[in-house]
Structure 1
Amino acid sequence: MTGLKARWRDMTQSAADLVGVLRRSGTEPVTLSPQQYRTALRAAIAGAVVLVAAIGFGLYQFMSLQQARAQEALHEQQLQLMREKTASLQEKMDKMDALDQELRQMVKGAGTGSSPKGDGGAAGAQKKGPDLSSADYNDLLLATARLETKTNARIISFITLKTVLSDTAGLQVRQMQQVSAQYASSTTPSIWPAYGTITSNFGYRGNPIGGGTGFHEGLDIAVDYGTPVQATAAGEVTAAGWVDGYGNLVEVDHGNGFVTRYGHNSMVLVVVGQTVHTGDILALAGSTGRSTGPHVHYEVRVQGTPTDPLLFLP
């Protein structure tokens, strides 16, 4: 580049000398010698080459800058995608933590009053993960490392809980199914949905949530978390899911105007349209919906009218 600049200066000087000769000549015809013509031609060509080189260099710099900006934008998009994916994994891990706590409550057999307050089955307040909305690459690496550690811990915990529940709840389910086998074809409510202490009877009572009085359309039976809830007669499942107030609800139509309801479950084990027999397990007891402790809210409706369940219990 330095040699090219020096050559350009020499040619520029030659061209200037040529211009000076032309100016001194005035209006007289100018005759260029072959040497002067070649010098002028070289100067013009050199100028054009330098101009083209400068334009090309400028275009190269502009394109490089544009490419760098495009790569930076792509990097930011990829980083944002990593933030969203990591945040999604963190949210799922929070739910797994809550499930782990609830399963432990089930294993412990937590008594009435020590349960969650009708928050949909999550045991206690969930500990939220860190905010990753503006996390950089290093922050995301740290978050994923923590998630990996917590995932390994949860796997070990779930394996342990599975072993314990297989030995306890599984045995309890089998015993209840054996006891109720003799009533399997009955369509009239005739057995207990679960065995426990009655904490609230059918009829008017003080409202345990919000105060005041109200009519209680069923029977509350205090049980441990995870206690199997069984159908009190054969029939067809007409509701199986979340219903305001009831939390996780199962409803069974037994025909002949008989309908039973089982509320506040921690987990529903049947689906709408399923045929069940007396003693079949419908759900696991919990404290979802408007509830202050783990129990089974049991209703019997005859021709659509709530009826005292004690009239049908042995």
Structure 2
Amino acid sequence: MNIQTYKRQCQCEVKKLTKQFHALRNNRTGPILITPRQYRRAVITAAAAALLIVIGVVVGIFEYVELQNVREKEVLHEQQLEIMRDKTASLQEKMDKLDSLDQELRQMVKGAETGDSPKGDGGVIDKPKKSPDISKASFNDLLLTTSRMETRVNARVVSFITLKTVLSDTAGEQVREMQQSHKKYESSNYPSIWPVKGTITSKFGYRGNPIGGGTGFHEGVDIAADYGTPIRATASGTVTIAGWTGGYGNLVEIDHGGGFVTRYGHNSMLLVVQGQTVKTGDIIALAGSTGNSTGPHCHYEVRVNGTPTDPMLFLP
């Protein structure tokens, strides 16, 4: 084979390959040739897409399960909240009954014919206050309600202990005798009026100590009053103390005879002296905040044969 013949054959082969290439490029149904680099890129892209799909599915399943758990917890929480509402309402009803019983017992001890209970301004409460409706109360509202009920329970416990003491000891016996009959003592010697008109800010019995913390026994009642408000003797008698006395500050003590003694503490000014005779309603001091006091008021005590007794049993 000479050179010319070989050259013609090569040209024929090139033309043949060129035709095949054009036919392959124009034929969309035929196989597509890609380079190794393109193949690796396609594999990586497919793997990344598959990984993203798997991650999306896993996240979706996790969120769905978490949402179901949250819904179940909400249902359980609402059920528990409803149980708490029912129990709290039941406790409120019992506390209302205890309050009514406490009022009735106090009036029985005082010898009154009605079921009214005393209040700070010297009047009476016609009917006990009814507890608020908690059928739609939230968890925080229930916490506040139970906290208030705890305070009421503590007050009732102290009150019943006081009533028990009054009904059982000698001082209580003398109180009942005085309320049933005034033959033994003159009525003017029986503490029977308010030393000052105002709101009771601290009752008789155990309480949290407003100064220094802790718990202590409050031997009287605190009646709120502005500075300089006249303080009056609640019965006739003789002044046995008129001066500074420890935590009482400026104190007036009056002996009414028959075992009855009254005390008036934290005064800003004293208007009587020791040994002076006073009558029911006489002005003996001006209200203040001397001694262990957090604000202006009258600390009023009644002692029967030396025993501190709840002044509310004597107040009209």
**TM-score using structure 2 length:** 0.41
Higher relative contact order (CA 8 A, sep 6+): 1
**TM-score using structure 1 length:** 0.41
